[in-house]
Chain A
Amino acid sequence: MLHIVACIKQVPDTKIIKMNPKTNTMDRASAPAILNPYDAHAVEEAVRLRARYGGVVSVLTMGPPPAVKAIKKCIEIGADEGYMITDRAFAGADTLATSYALTKALEKIATIRPIDLIICGKMTIDGDTGQVGPGIARRLDIPPLTSVNKVVEINQDEGYAIVHRKLEDGYEVIRSTLPCLLSVEKEINEVPYSPLPNMLRAARYQPHIWSVNDLPDIDRPQLGLKGSPTIVSSVWAPAKPQGGTMLEGTAQDQVQQLLNVLLERRELLEVGRS
């Protein structure tokens, strides 16, 4: 019986988020909160491994109370259990403080059911650092495996995992001891539409919700803003691009003008042709 925990985060949909041009802040109301798309793949992979080997899939999130919705989404994908840690004490965490709080929650989950494998997304679409997964692995002192695009084998009896790590021009096959932590690429799987029974279960499902007081041996100075070595000192909108020269005339004219521009840089074309 494998116990796999996927770490998941609720994020604003950055594709449609609007900026307030006066204050340079994000208009959060303009963007719906969604399950971080990369984390859907983490949960899906956990569900697929459960189908292969049997076991239990849990998901864990740290976030404000509305993040329960992201957990429900994971139940739709097929997770069995959802855990959420939520407390003002966690607010303002950078990746170091985030990995600390999540590690404390994982330690508590492990007292309920020992953990064999942790799966994280490659990154989130808001903070976008990709640093939390390896951070958790270091704190638990288990091997971090990033850029994973295939899980070849999980052998619980012999205590090892074999995975592919994506390289720029191929992949490497890695064998690691278990437990370990995987940060998975999007291409590792496709998340299908959720089957109806999962949707029904998700609608009723109530996750385990813990505050900071529920986490044993927690060192409060390591949490939230206080426990974060990095500080966001200023935020600004990136410089607006100027815009270029629009070519005019008939299509023929425009093509000719463009050709002239490019032929002035003919040496570049020759370079390209070699």
Chain B
Amino acid sequence: MNFDDYRGVWVFLEEKDGVIAPVSLELLGAGRKLADKRQTELSGVLIGEGVTALAQSAFEYGADKVFVYDDPIYRHYRTEAYMRAVLACVEKHKPEILLYGATSTGKDLASAVATDLPTGLTADTTQLDVEEDTGLLLASRPAFGGNIMATILCKKYRPQMATVRPKVMKALPREPGRTGTIIAESIPLREEDVRTKVLEIVRATTRRVRIDEADIIVAGGKGLGGPAGFQLIHRLAETIGAAVGASRDVVEAGWIGHHHQVGQTGVTVTPKIYFAIGISGAIQHIVGMQNSGLIIAINKDSAAPIFQSCHYGIVGDALEIVPMLIQAFETALGRKEEANAGKV
């Protein structure tokens, strides 16, 4: 393997609901820095049906080139079809680095591609850097439930690949009108060659709770004592227009559904304000919310680890503090005009 043949930083551009997924834009931001350091190009790989037009937004977020596989066979994500496209593209154009979002699609695709190439794949990266002269990718990730960080290298194979956690890297500000080169690619792939079929896609009928998109999250933990106490979380959230989050223990106790779970095995969130109420602050919870803009913790135990990771902390009984907070907000935000203003 001649390393000099491998040039350029690539990002797999994940398409979702007709737009490029936020994590892919974040990776273009991170990839731009790596490419600039290596004085090389940043490219995207875009696969789907009717996706060519999306290349423009990749250019506006930092890409120089986009390789596009636009064909009905890619209508739904399927490992085998997408993998064939990425493998062909890598063999033809030889990137030195290839990044994917650590989403279920990105992880699935990257694992398959890494096995076939073969090359190394670092999982769930949260820090990326590159050695300027050698091009060695320094990919760091949490392991052992977030108890340690490890820097992982891939010295003997190219491309170097990593999946990167959503919401950790920063997208560049959009530069409207920035352009680049679209390279249309295709491979001979027939429907009969793909051994899986998507029979149906079922969207959840319940109102979608997208806590990963909320500006404010009020999250509750076991400290609320039970489903009745947890209602206070819903009430506070409603008062200030926030989404509701929860610790894993609360989800496991059945007080609220799994898609509200924040943390390592739940959702990673970066709201502008995050309330952690009756949550102890286990490392697996912290990794899911530590990049929030303003973190407020309420816990009756002054030694709770959550106070190490918050901006403002209140030591006290949530069952007492939260109702007071709800009332204070209602007054301050002008709900309930009849409330005794000033007397909160």
Contact = CB atoms under 8 A, between A and B. Distances in A.
Interface of A: 12, 14-15, 17, 19, 24, 26, 94-96, 99, 125-131, 133-135, 137-139, 143-147, 162, 166-177, 180, 187, 228-238, 240-247, 251-252, 254-256, 258-259, 261-263, 265, 268-269, 271-274
B130 to A, nearest CB: 14
A229 B118 CA distance: 9
A138 B307 CA distance: 46
B107 A146 contact: yes
Given A230-B153, A268-B215, 14 more contacts: A126-B145, A131-B121, A144-B79, A146-B104, A162-B199, A169-B204, A187-B258, A232-B151, A243-B310, A244-B295, A252-B324, A259-B332, A271-B272, A273-B240
A63 to B, nearest CB: 16
Contacts of B118: 96, 229
B157 A173 contact: no
20 contacts: A17-B145, A125-B145, A131-B110, A134-B79, A135-B114, A143-B80, A147-B108, A170-B203, A173-B200, A180-B195, A230-B154, A235-B148, A238-B149, A240-B308, A251-B316, A255-B328, A261-B294, A265-B272, A268-B216, A272-B273
Given A134-B115, A143-B80, A262-B273, A235 B196 contact: no
Contact of B196 (A135, A145, A168, A236): A145
A256 B302 CA distance: 19
Return the 8 tightest CB-CB contacts between A and B, nearest first: A229-B120, A14-B145, A273-B241, A129-B123, A134-B111, A230-B120, A272-B241, A138-B115
Nearest to B201: A172
B242 interface: yes
Interface string B201-228: 1111000100000111000000000000
Contacts of A146: 79, 104, 107-108
Contact of B198 (A95, A173, A177): A173
A34 to B, nearest CB: 13
A147 B105 CA distance: 9
Given A129-B124, A231-B152, A255-B325, A15 B312 contact: no
B313 A172 contact: no
B202 A171 contact: yes
A14 B312 CA distance: 29
Contact of B148 (A144, A170, A238, A241): A238
Nearest to A147: B104
Nearest to A231: B153
A251 B333 CA distance: 20
A170 B201 contact: yes
Nearest to B83: A138
A259 B329 contact: yes
Given A258-B325, A259-B332, A127 B143 contact: yes
Interface string B122-156: 11100000000000001000111111111111111
Given A243-B308, A254-B314, A254-B321, A272 B214 contact: yes
A139 B144 CA distance: 27
A246 B308 CA distance: 10
Contacts of B179: none
B279 to A, nearest CB: 14
A128 B123 contact: yes
B160 to A, nearest CB: 9
A86 B316 CA distance: 52
A146 B321 CA distance: 43
Contacts of B138: 233
B338 interface: no
B303 to A, nearest CB: 11
Nearest to B317: A251
Contacts of B57: none
Contacts of A241: 286, 290, 308-309
